[in-house]
Amino acid sequence: MKRIFVCCLVFITTVPFLSAQLMERNGYRNTLWSGAGNDNGDDHTEWDGVYDTFQARLGAGALSIDAMLQWAADTDYSDSGNLNGITFKNTDANVNFTLRAIKNLELGMGTYLDWKLGPAPSHGSKAWEIRYHLCQGGLSEGLPGSAPVTGASYYANYITESPDTTKALAARYYVEDLFQFAVGIPSGADTTAFLSNAGMVCTPNEKVLVALAYDKIFQDDGNLYAGSTLIVTDSLTLDVWAALDNLGGKSGNGQTGTGAALNITSDRLTIRPETGCTFYESSDYTTAWYAGTDINYELDENITAGLWTSLALGSKNKEWDNRTETENRVGGMIFDLRPDLTYYINSTDALGSTFNLQKLTTYENRDYTYWSFGFYWTHAF
């Protein structure tokens, strides 16, 4: 029963071959979540409300439709930690259309076409799922540490270091499991600044995958992605990837992000350690670095425990040390620890819980500690 439910529930994020959109097969699932934490990094514990996410994948002949709708009873707190009220609202939505036009040719249009071609940094599942976590490769509180220190991944929409992609029109052509070619036009393209992205993946044999992609083909500041997966043994695979940003753009603004990961599996245990770094074209910036590990262990037939932990050190501008107003600035740091537990009640229902601890040092050298916990109930039907 458990394995049947997992097939309906879990969104695959590390598979190097063609992945589906929001769901892997026709069906429906609903996830109810509630949690609390110190969202402002202070001593106040705030209840985050209740979120309900409904997902569906429908197939009719050559046409497939993926849809997701999320509603919430969202809480609002004052600066002193008092509950002001609850707002009921639609917080997120995605719709994708995929058409098998002819044999080996697929057309897609939608808000979340995650046609990933090659290996990339882990970002867990979606925000409303038990396995959700973000890789801390991009340091939003570090300057210029906001860069993707782990490289990037190619989606139908564009090359990105984020799991959140945007609206796009895309197509892909594939020859069995040997080769595929994908093109995408993301939202925002126009006749004066036309955007187009392309990618390809080749699997010359059962043990090797090679992927290439280019973002902004008709622009001066394009981005190149390359990734490869090597199956070493039945229980061990190696992923490597690199992303070169701002190719042909303004001198001194270029970045090169690289990363690698091992996928180790056994009957009950899976481990994925990974690391990455970003090198800057400008000599004023130090190298940014990241490492993370994702662990999942089946305690028994119905209970699975997981752990995600990561550490990222942002890049520092060396010029900060030469100016009085910036002499205390640092590259920034994020440490994340996220254990989780899932209980599979039967083939259609699962209960889960997570706890997240995050320690953050901003580029202004200020320290914050965030923590939160949440509970999930997912029903697949």
Average pLDDT over residues 135-150: 57
The rounded distance, in Å, linking the Cα atoms of 273 and 270 is 10
Tell me how far apart the alpha carbons of residues 47 and 166 are, in angstroms, rounded to a whole number.
30
Cis before 144 (ω within 30)? yes
Average pLDDT in the 73-82 region? 87
Residue 150's pLDDT band, with cuts at 50, 70 and 90, is low
Token digits of residue 6: 């997992």
3-class secondary structure, 275: strand
- Give me the chain's average pLDDT, please: 82
Question: pLDDT tens digit string along 163-207?
Answer: 555 677 888 898 887 898 888 887 766 655 555 788 889 999 989
Number of separate helices (H) and strands (E) present in the chain:
1, 20
Residue 247 or residue 72, greater confidence: 72
Q: How many residues does the chain have?
A: 381
Expressed as residue numbers, the domain containing 119 is 2-380
Total number of domains in the chain: 1
* Cα separation, 360 vs 42, whole angstroms: 13
Q: What are the pLDDT digits (tens) for 335-380?
A: 999 999 999 999 999 999 999 999 988 888 889 999 999 999 999 9
Residue 17 has pLDDT above 80, yes or no: no
- pLDDT at residue 355, rounded to an integer: 95
Q: Are 138 and 121 in contact (CB under 8 A)?
A: no
> In this structure, what CATH number is given to the domain that contains residue 286?
2.40.160.10
How far is residue 15's CA from residue 203's CA, in Å, rounded to a whole number? 13
Plot region of 117 (φ>0 → left; ψ -120 to 50 → alpha; else → beta): alpha
Chain segment 264-274, per-residue pLDDT in tens: 999 899 999 99
Please state the pTM of the whole predicted model. Answer: 0.85
